[in-house]
Chain A
Amino acid sequence: MSAAVDVRPPPRAAQPLRRDLALIAEMIPSASRVLDVGCGDGALLEHLVHERGVDGRGIELSQAGVNACVARGLSVIQGDADTDLKDYPSDAFDVAVLSQTLQATRAPRKVLGQLVRIGRRAIVSFPNFGHWRVRWRLLHDGRMPTTASLPDAWYDTPNIHLCTILDFEDLAAELGLTIERALVLDSYGTAKALGSMRLANWFGEQCIMLLRRG
């Protein structure tokens, strides 16, 4: 049979990837196996599959998102990070990605545990509640902060488990995880590898962590 099975799909006219997703993509080795948990409309997955030869899968909560992904030729299922990760075998993926989703899960600690079980490495990105602007809003206005990365009012937000970079660092330590890389994005989307987590906690609006067990 002459039709090769593992021919990569032809590259498409690439849409510019959102800045934080591009940074995540850079952390992922080419041709690896990746599970994107909460993959949304599949922008990151599509980039990884088409530009980087990744064997990519996705889970997405919203049915509309799933249907859009599958119609784009991506392997995505409708599912919930809180309940559906337990089905996957350990070490099934090289990298498990959880981008901008952890804070919206019911049990972030369990989800993070599942993530590093399924993937040899995990990449987690989340909005940093320790950013100076968040602190200032609360301190100065005495109201729940809304910012570019936390745009919803308190009664509307899906983010039920917000944390700061230091909080996340504590949880990672508690779960016995090693933070291999940490990047923070300021309000302009500029990535910085701030040496001290305390400093990062003041100036990072979003944070991206590359984690592994042990």
Chain B
Amino acid sequence: MGAGFRIMSAPQHRPETLVHSASLPGHRVEFGREAPLVLDSRAELGPFTMAYQTYGRLDEDRANAVLVCHALTGDQFVAETHPVTGKPGWWETMVGPGKPIDTDRFFVICVNVLGACMGTTGPRDVNPATGRPYGLSFPVITVADMVRAQKLLIDHLGIEKLFCVTGGSMGGMQVLQWAASHPDRVFAAVPIATGARHSAQNIAFHEVGRQAIMADPDWCHGDYVAQGRNPRRGLAVARMAAHITYLSEAALHQKFGRNLQDRTRVTYGFEADFQVESYLRYQGSSFVDRFDANSYLYLTRAMDYFDLAAEHGGVLANAFRGTPVRFCLVSFTGDWLFPTSESREIVHSLNAVAANVSFVEIESDKGHDAFLLEEPEFAKTLSGFLKGSAAHRGLR
């Protein structure tokens, strides 16, 4: 994601493969060697690696841990310069010393999700059983599987109860799944700009992205890593289409209008005449340097499959019956990917079981990406909720 306004030509350096994840900074642990992880699909995965990053210090009671769940194309580098792109961490607006998720106070953990490509095992990695990259033989992952894997790590870190689990978009889905699957392990949950299920429209957008990747001859039916190729064009188009859904018409209009790119008149051709085209091309081409095409297929699929109510007899409230978790839901007025109505539906279900819930809608025309950007009202909300929850939890 990241909607920073940069208009640049495509980078010249085009590595055929991504930075090898073993060279990335941060922590990693291996799981599933003795007993494999059983996934929703009934497939078994193991051994596998979880790559994660932490900020701040875990207190003696191990009570101050905040698990941040990243979105579709995010990763564990929440609050530090990204080792691949050199850009600021994706949530430095919210996480850091003195920030709402204050690393002077909280111990922040962010885990690269299962199926991703920043160190946690995903389709790009070598299947130990065959000695070849998994490719499409990697099992389909669900949001619940991501949470299963994260729970292994939280157990491994000796954290009995997370003070808070938070995240936006796909991260918010993980937050809801955590609260539903492990209500005794989560004190407070902050699902942001998310929904309890992926809508038909959102599945449709994802399908466009997947088809773009699969239409690229370099995709090689998912076997491109073994064949030394990379479906850059397909992945770039997928990213371009998705990026539009992260913004809003107002944001696009304000940023670009119909402004032309480095020219005074249209060229009567198909170059990037308009700034908005140039911007999207840049977003697409820079994305492929840090993301794996098959990971994109798997993670979009995980979001599409997410339907928390379906797991609970079709009644979302059943997912939260008797929950002790304190919830704070946040939506943004300009978000058309996960509009406020999606959050409100979750709120209604939480009310139906008399759960402890706060819900704010933040006025913003920045689209879905608003949760990643400077939004003072959002920061105040998150900060206030966490302070109130910390007081209830008896944190220092």
Using a CB–CB cutoff of 8 Å, the interface residues on chain A facing chain B are 1-10, 55, 57, 63, 66-67, 69-79, 84, 87-89, 92-93
Contact = CB atoms under 8 A, between A and B. Distances in A.
Contacts of A71: 380-381, 383-385
Interface stretch (B24-32, B142-150, B358-366): B358-366
Interface in B320-372: 326, 328, 347-348, 351-354, 356-363
A3 B352 contact: no
A55 B357 CA distance: 12
B387 interface: yes
A72 B384 contact: yes
A1 B360 contact: no
Contacts of A72: 384, 388
B394 interface: yes
Nearest to A71: B384
A93 B388 contact: no
Contacts of A77: 347, 351, 357-359
A34 to B, nearest CB: 12
A1 B61 contact: yes
Nearest to A57: B356
A73 B391 contact: yes
Nearest to A56: B356
Contacts of B72: none
Contact of A88 (B352, B356, B384, B395): B352
Give the interface residue-count category, chain B. 35 or more
A5 B393 contact: yes
Nearest to B333: A63
Nearest to A66: B360
A8 B391 CA distance: 7
B385 A70 contact: yes
Contacts of B357: 57, 75, 77
A30 B242 CA distance: 51
A75 to B, nearest CB: 5
Contacts, number: 94
Given A67-B377, A77-B351, 8 more contacts: A5-B393, A63-B361, A67-B362, A70-B381, A74-B388, A77-B357, A88-B352, A92-B354
Nearest to B384: A71
Contacts of B392: 5-9
A66 B359 contact: yes
A67 B387 CA distance: 14
B157 to A, nearest CB: 14
Contacts of A6: 392
B358 A7 contact: no
Contacts of B61: 1-3
B358 A75 contact: yes
B161 A1 contact: yes
B160 interface: yes
Contacts of A5: 187, 392-394
A9 B385 CA distance: 13
A87 B380 contact: no
Contact of A78 (B161, B356, B360): B360
A24 B84 CA distance: 58
Nearest to B392: A9
B63 interface: yes
A206 to B, nearest CB: 29
Contacts of B393: 3, 5, 7
Contacts of A9: 388, 391-392
B381 A67 contact: yes
A70 B354 contact: no
17 contacts: A4-B394, A5-B393, A6-B392, A7-B392, A66-B360, A67-B380, A67-B381, A69-B358, A70-B328, A70-B381, A71-B380, A72-B384, A77-B347, A78-B359, A87-B352, A88-B354, A92-B354
B389 interface: yes
B360 A7 contact: no
Contacts of B354: 88-89, 92-93
A69 to B, nearest CB: 8
A66 B363 CA distance: 12
A7 B394 contact: yes
A77 B328 CA distance: 9
A34 B125 CA distance: 53
A63 B389 contact: no
Given A1-B160, A89-B354, A63 B360 contact: yes
Contacts of B363: 63
Contacts of B377: 67
A9 B387 CA distance: 10
Contacts of A63: 360-361, 363
B155 to A, nearest CB: 14
Contacts of A57: 356-357
Nearest to B363: A63
Contacts of B63: 1-3
Nearest to A1: B160
A66 to B, nearest CB: 6
Contact of A3 (B348, B387, B388, B395): B395
A189 to B, nearest CB: 30
Contacts of A3: 61, 63, 393-395
Contacts of B348: 84, 87
A119 to B, nearest CB: 11
A26 to B, nearest CB: 24
